[in-house]
Amino acid sequence: MAMTNGFPICSLLLTALLASVQIAAAEPVKDIVVFDFEMMDSSAAAGIIPQDEIDTRYLVESTQVAKAFLQSSGAYKIVDAKPAATEVAQAGSLRSCKGCEAAIASKLGGELAMTGIVNRISRTEFEMVIKVVDSDTGIPVAFGYTGLRMGANYAWPRGAKWLMEQRVMAKLSDK
């Protein structure tokens, strides 16, 4: 008797589950160009101590952290930015090219463009910004900022992880 009474409920639950899976599968995956994170050095030593291989390594790791969050969400496909390396180099830096990242991402087939900037304030104080813009309009769709204090460049990937978890992914899911 309990089996007969439970059957309609199980049937309804199964139908609802299948419908939700179909709706989730129907949501389109967005193509996003994730540009290599950049360093801006506004410290007093900026003109004396240049970006070194350790800084570069942690910028690369920070970029990879952001890409991993996007990929693991299942909602984004990473578009390779390397074919635009010459254009990016000609721009100088994406942080000061007045929105050129959107046009470059659009040419690469991306719907969105992500940039990341680490600003060195001193040897133990940094800021990190991750920004995602619509490649057609250049309008920001997600933005995250954090200050990193009492650390060093090895903290940049952790900062990227925190920003992706706490700021960027939540704002992207709202769009």
Residue 83 lies in a domain: yes
Residue 142 has pLDDT above 60, yes or no: yes
**Amino acid at position 170, single letter:** A
Please indicate, yes or no, if residue 1 is contained in any of the structural domains. no
pLDDT digits (tens, 9 = 90+) for 105-115: 999 999 999 99
Q: Give a yes or no: residue 145 inside a domain.
A: yes
Half-sphere exposure of 65 (CA within 13 A, CB side): 21
> How many domains are there within the chain?
1
Question: What pLDDT was estimated at residue 96?
Answer: 86
Per-residue pLDDT at 26 = 53
Structural domain contains residue 75 = yes
Burial 35-49 (b: 16+ CB within 10 A, else e): bbbbbbbebeeeeee
Q: What is the CATH number of the domain that holds 145?
A: 3.40.50.10070
In whole angstroms, what separates CA 39 from the centre of its chain? 16
Residue 97 in domain: yes
Can you list the alpha helix ranges (DSSP code H) found in 27-168?
53-73, 85-91, 100-107, 156-163
Q: What is the distance between the alpha carbons of residues 102 and 174, in angstroms, rounded to a whole number? A: 20
The first and second tokens of residue 154, run together, are 């090895």
Q: Which of 69, 89, 78 has the alpha carbon at shortest distance from 160? A: 69
Residue 138's domain spans which residues? 28-173
Is residue 7 scored above 70 in pLDDT? Answer: no
Please state the separation of Cα 17 from the chain's center in Å: 31
Name the phi and psi angles at 140, rounded to 5.
-60, 135
Interatomic CA distance for residues 160 and 59, integer angstroms: 10
Query: Checking DSSP bridges between strand 140-149 and strand 125-134, what pairing results, if any?
Result: antiparallel
Q: Give pLDDT tens digits for 78-108.
A: 999 999 999 999 988 898 898 999 999 999 9
Q: What is the pLDDT of residue 28?
A: 84
41 lies in a domain?
A: yes
Confidence bin at 151 (pLDDT 50/70/90): confident
Spatial CA neighbour of 101 closest among 90, 82, 115: 115
The answer as to whether 99 is a domain residue is yes
Helix pair 53-73, 156-163: axis angle to 10 deg = 20
